[in-house]
Structures are given as structure tokens and as C-alpha cells.
């Protein structure tokens, strides 16, 4: 299974968050999964990459070209995918495309952007949507979860927040959920896509007759 993990890239990331990121990287490797992330060597991304590498795991890093030259990418990745463009849109697309499931650890604006875009795709049933979860370390995501609950109560979300984003309480809980969802995806059919239905033939025939009748009336009036 390929797990895309979004996390902080800041060297000032608190130790509590670094420890959880390292625990995830180690567990992903030991359970034989592939770790996909944004390719940083600092913060939560750096901690999980280092731990995954030390445990013998396989790492795929997706990085934007503007960050390659500044020396902060995780150079020990097994695969390095370089995105281009004037925004982070292509990088986010490539990250999600590499994954079977998507998880988010504590992080800043970039992490929130990645998490909420993945959640939006799930909410709207896009065929490219992936299962989404977060690791709620030390209550970091309590505010976001409360906001989503409020949006659901106010009928701004048509799905319950827990069906869009799974709030894991530990690394073990997170990986168990990821593995369950991956198995469900492997054994289930994709959700049906909505199709625009064509009107029945009788309706089309009646419409053509009505248009012809109106044209005839207009011509008769023009001659009178």
C-alpha cells in the first residue's frame, strides 16, 4: 500500500509532532508499505523520512522544482518526482496520484491546503478521490474537526465529517484504518458516476412537432 503523508517542513516543529512523524515512518516501513510525501528533510516530513529509511522502507518524494535548488530536499529518497508550474497544484496532484490513501500530520498552511483539497474531492465523490485520515497529535486538529462539525450541523456539508476525514488517535489506529480502507478498495467496485440522461424518444418527437407547429403559425401570421 502507498501512503501519502502530509506533514510540516519547519525546523521549529515541536518534538511531540516529530516523535509522531518518526513513529509513522518507522511503522510504514516495518509493515511493508510505501511512504509518499513532499520530500522535505526537516520538520515532520524529515522525521518520518529518516525513520522510514532507518527501518528499510521505500520512500517516494514529490517536490516542486523551486525547492530542489535550496538544499532542503530529502536526498535519500528511492524515487524523486519533480513537479513544475507556477503554483503547487501539480505537486498536489502528483502526491495524490502516487497514493492509495492520504493522511495528514500536524503542519502549517501547506499541510492544511493538501488535507482539505483531498477532503473536498472525497466530499464531492470525484473518481480521483482517495481515503483521507489525519493523526490528531495532542489535539492539534481539534479546531478543524469542530469547524467541520459546525459546517455539517449548518447543512453546509452533505456528508458527516467522519465519513470524509477519519480522525486517528494513534499511529497504530491510523495504519489499521489505512489497511482496512485499502483492502476495501481492492475488493470493491468504484462508485457509480453520474450521467446526464437523454430525454426519451417520445419527448424528442413531441418537441420537434411543437417547434414545427409554432413555425407554421408564425408564417401564417406573416402572410395575413
CB 101 within 8 A of CB 74: no
Phi, psi (rounded to 5 degrees) for 148: -65, -40
Provide the 3-class DSSP secondary structure of residue 14.
coil
What pTM did the predictor assign? 0.79
The pLDDT score that the predictor gives to residue 213 is 53
- The stretches of the chain forming alpha helices (DSSP H) are 15-30, 43-54, 65-68, 89-97, 109-123, 142-153, 161-164, 171-187, 201-223
The pLDDT score that the predictor gives to residue 192 is 42
The pLDDT score that the predictor gives to residue 44 is 95
Closest CA to 77 of 54, 61, 55, 94: 61
The pLDDT score that the predictor gives to residue 212 is 57
Domains and CATH numbers, the chain: 2-187 (3.40.50.450)
Please identify which residue in the block is written with the cell numbers 395575413. 224
What pLDDT tens digit does each residue of the chain (224 aa) get? 999 999 999 999 999 999 999 999 999 999 999 999 998 889 999 999 999 999 999 999 998 888 765 556 788 889 998 888 888 888 888 888 889 999 999 999 999 999 999 999 988 888 888 999 999 999 999 999 999 999 999 999 989 999 999 999 999 999 999 999 888 877 754 444 444 444 454 444 444 445 455 555 555 555 55
In angstroms, the CA 174 to CA 55 distance is 19
CB 1 within 8 A of CB 179: yes
Amino acid at each position: 500500500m502507498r501512503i501519502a503523508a502530509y506533514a510540516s517542513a519547519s525546523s521549529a516543529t515541536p518534538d511531540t509532532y516529530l516523535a509522531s512523524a518518526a513513529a509513522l515512518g518507522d511503522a510504514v516501513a516495518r509493515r511493508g508499505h510505501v511512504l509518499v510525501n513532499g520530500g522535505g528533510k526537516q520538520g515532520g516530513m524529515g522525521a518520518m523520512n529518516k525513520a522510514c529509511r532507518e527501518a528499510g522502507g521505500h520512500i517516494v518524494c514529490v517536490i516542486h522544482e523551486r525547492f530542489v535548488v535550496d538544499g532542503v530536499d530529502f536526498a535519500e529518497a528511492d524515487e524523486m518526482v519533480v513537479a513544475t508550474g507556477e503554483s503547487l497544484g501539480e505537486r498536489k496532484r502528483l502526491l495524490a496520484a502516487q497514493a492509495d490513501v492520504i493522511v495528514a500530520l500536524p503542519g502549517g498552511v501547506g499541510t492544511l491546503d493538501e488535507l482539505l483539497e483531498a477532503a473536498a474531492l472525497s466530499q464531492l465523490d470525484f473518481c480521483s478521490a482517495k481515503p483521507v485520515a489525519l493523526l490528531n497529535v495532542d489535539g492539534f486538529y481539534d479546531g478543524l474537526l469542530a469547524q467541520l462539525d459546525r459546517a455539517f450541523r449548518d447543512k453546509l456539508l452533505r456528508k458527516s465529517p467522519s465519513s470524509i476525514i477519519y480522525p486517528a488517535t494513534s499511529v497504530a489506529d491510523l495504519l489499521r484504518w489505512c489497511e482496512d480502507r485499502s483492502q476495501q478498495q481492492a475488493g470493491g467496485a468504484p462508485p457509480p458516476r453520474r450521467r446526464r440522461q437523454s430525454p426519451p424518444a417520445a419527448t424528442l418527437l413531441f418537441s420537434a412537432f411543437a417547434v414545427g407547429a409554432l413555425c407554421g403559425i408564425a408564417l401564417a401570421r406573416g402572410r395575413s
